[in-house]
Structure 1
Amino acid sequence: MKKRKKNTPFFSVIVPVYNNEDDIEKCISSILAQTYDDFELIIVDDGSTDKTPDICDDFAQKDERIRVIHRQGNGGVTAARNEGLFYSSGEYIYHVDGDDWIAEKLLETAKNRLDKASIDIFVFCHVKVLENNQYQKRKLRVEEGLYDKERLKKQIYPWMIFQLDKKGGIDSGSLCDKVIKRKLLQKHYCSDTSLFRGEDCVCAWECLYFADNVYFSEEMLYFYNRLSETSGQKKYRKNLLENEKAIAKYLRSSLKVKEDFEIERQINMLEFYGIVRSIHQEINFHHSFFSSAQLLKMKCKGERDICCYKGMPLKIYPYVLLINHQCFLFLMMCVILKKYIYKLLCIFRGWIIDI
């Protein structure tokens, strides 16, 4: 059994878990296999009803660096992460999801970089593990290196959340590809525990926005498991629309958008695509067009402007207009039509290649 060091650990690794019995062993093992071992591992069991608590407790009995916190009831990943942060003592905080795993050199790589300067956040890259042994790497979208505040303002913040020509920004919005100084995170953690999707991004972007310096690395150090049955991507979320709008509202408040037009523009884009995602969800789960349209209308009842178009590209204006007039049935028909046109083009392209 490894003995805990008397001094404060350099890293606190926080892992929120809920019914992860199929994946948690691999997750914890990847953390304990780190080539740099000055860390504490805080596992927050968020009211699991399967064998997850027992698996975590077994690991804790074998390694004194591990602390397992058992919460009563399922309060959500944000609440679990926040409780882990409250109990943490490391100089830097690192988050790992219970169904994912990390490269064995992650903490050592971070430590080597953090030792060279007083860095608030160390950002790296991740790999999505897909079906049929497929891997999708998220490469760094900026030049690798250290960014002080002025460089962040010029090269990161204007495209941090959204780039106009892409459905995403420079940053992933994930907490799992960032090691964050605890003093910074304690000031800018996510306080809205009702968020169930995108809860990472409100915290990650707020920390980036208020950081004095950030190091961006090309290293691929995190493995995001898209095969897991517990993945939020595979679940129907009845309140997805409300959640997407709550994220936008939270960011408008925390990032003080009235003082930064570029950030306001990006949040407007984020909100728009969040609403579009809600429409796609209804289609993907094969719900009736009419009942889905009525449901979305009911959710938007009384709202004058569902989506703000300020700063958006002109090509998006018609869609914003349709959303604000609650033409959800027409929008869903457009999505389906676009989907079938794309499939026909793919078939046609295949014919040309065969010829």
Structure 2
Amino acid sequence: MNQENSLISIIVPVYNIEEYICDCLESVKAQSYSNFECLIIDDCGHDNSIQLARELLKSWEHDNRFKIIQREENGGLSAARNTGIDYSSGDYIYFLDGDDKIMPQALEALLSMAYKHPGVQMVQGNVVYENKKEVWQFKQSDFPEYSNNREWIRTQMLEWKIAISSWNKLYRSDYLKTNNLRFCEGIIHEDVKWCWDNQKHLTTIAFCDYQSYWYRTGNQTSIMHDTDKTKSAISFLSIYHLIKNDITDKKELKFIREYILPYKVSLHRWAYSKNRKCIKKKLQGIIKHSCANCTTSRCLMLLLLLYFFPFNIYKINKR
């Protein structure tokens, strides 16, 4: 591939973000690197997001780099991203949430790093936050510019030292498609499952210190601001159920013990859930299945503790 003509597919899911979609698309339009396609995935929202996007594209005299792809029905963020992957034709794929935006040299900086390390499967960019509060940023001094040490990469991902988010990462398209990497549909916190799947396959990574992504923290309609954490807790339990039979070593077991079951389900989600009976029912089904399928004793114990002592399990697990 030649850096001059590498095509980047930018995938932008759109669902009820009429306040932000124009800012997002204008940030793509303003990129210093121009060889991209921007796939705007209409996930059948109820506001004017797509109409605003159409009007904006019309004002640009139908810049053919921007394409609106309409789904037949609402499927959630995972389904929208998967639709984007299916329609993408780029050498690289970049996920951008429609309520965020990217900085002017984002694509150029990430692609430059990709070409500096030929064949690298993923380039991680840095982030700037709307409220200036650091949520996850990396310092170049704490990470190598490039690594092909698969075990080091797995450790960083499983311990969440590399952000689990799928956005602000430049992926080689052939890496995603050859390994059939897809987002898990029907759940929220889909990036946790995405992280798990990627650590199974990723063998090369590079880090770009440029703050390429502007993350919005003030969108009160986002999942992150939902005060009822029932769906959140159930999604983490669903993720556990999906990956529990795919554990191959202690690193992956630690990921489940410390990041999925006790912390994500009980410590915060349980306390702020309005439908705990629903969580209990989900737990019952998983416990029955785990007993029948010889789940590791440590995980089974955590499930039982979650069921009977949800508020105390995090402290118990950390001892």
Name the TM-score, length of structure 1 as normaliser: 0.75
Q: Distance in 2 between matches of 1:75 and 1:310?
A: 35
Q: 1:80 Cα shift?
A: 0.6
Q: 1:35 Cα shift?
A: 0.6
Q: Is the 8 A contact 1:60 1:68 kept in 2?
A: no
Give the secondary structure class of the aligned counterpart of 2:271. helix
Which runs of 5 or more structure 2 residues have no equivalent in the other structure?
Answer: none
Cα root mean square deviation, aligned:
2.7
- Name the counterpart of 1:265: 254
Cα deviation, 1:94-144, whole Å, max 9, x if unaligned, reads 0000101111111000111112222110012223323xxx43252227423
- Say whether 1:179 aligns with 2:170: yes
Cα gap change, 1:244/1:118 in structure 2, threshold over 3 Å: closer, same or farther? Answer: same
Any residues of structure 2 matched to 1:12-91 within 5 Å, and which?
12-61=9-58, 62=60, 63-91=63-91
Match of 1:226 among 211, 217, 223: 217
Any residues of structure 2 matched to 1:1-355 within 5 Å, and which?
10-61=7-58, 62=60, 63-116=63-116, 117-130=118-131, 134-136=132-134, 138-140=136-138, 142-148=142-148, 151-153=149-151, 155-162=152-159, 169-186=160-177, 187-196=179-188, 198-235=189-226, 236-252=228-244, 256-258=246-248, 260-272=249-261, 273-276=263-266, 277-282=268-273, 287=274, 293-302=276-285, 303=287, 310=298, 320=302, 323-328=305-310, 331=312
Q: Is the 8 A contact 1:16 1:43 kept in 2?
A: yes
Q: Distance in 1 between matches of 2:41 and 2:11?
A: 7
Q: Is the 8 A contact 2:153 2:202 kept in 1?
A: no
Q: Distance in 2 between matches of 1:35 and 1:210?
A: 31
- Name the counterpart of 1:337: none
Q: Distance in 2 between matches of 1:201 and 1:300?
A: 19
Q: 1:56 Cα shift?
A: 1.6
Q: Distance in 2 between matches of 1:126 and 1:77?
A: 21
Q: Distance in 1 between matches of 2:20 and 2:276?
A: 37
Q: 1:76 Cα shift?
A: 0.5
Give the secondary structure class of the aligned counterpart of 2:230. coil
Q: Distance in 1 between matches of 2:200 and 2:169?
A: 14
Amino acid at match of 2:250: F
Cα gap change, 1:193/1:8 in structure 2, threshold over 3 Å: closer, same or farther? Answer: farther
Give the secondary structure class of the aligned counterpart of 2:254. helix
Q: How many residues align?
A: 295
Q: Is the 8 A contact 1:158 1:262 kept in 2?
A: yes
Cα gap change, 1:242/1:64 in structure 2, threshold over 3 Å: closer, same or farther? Answer: same
Q: 1:8 Cα shift?
A: 7.2
Bigger Rg over Cα = 1
Q: Distance in 1 between matches of 2:232 and 2:133?
A: 27
Which runs of 5 or more structure 1 residues have no equivalent in the other structure?
Answer: 1-6, 163-168, 312-316, 335-355
Q: 1:178 Cα shift?
A: 0.8
Amino acid at match of 1:301: Q
Q: Distance in 2 between matches of 1:111 and 1:59?
A: 27
Q: Distance in 2 between matches of 1:174 and 1:267?
A: 17
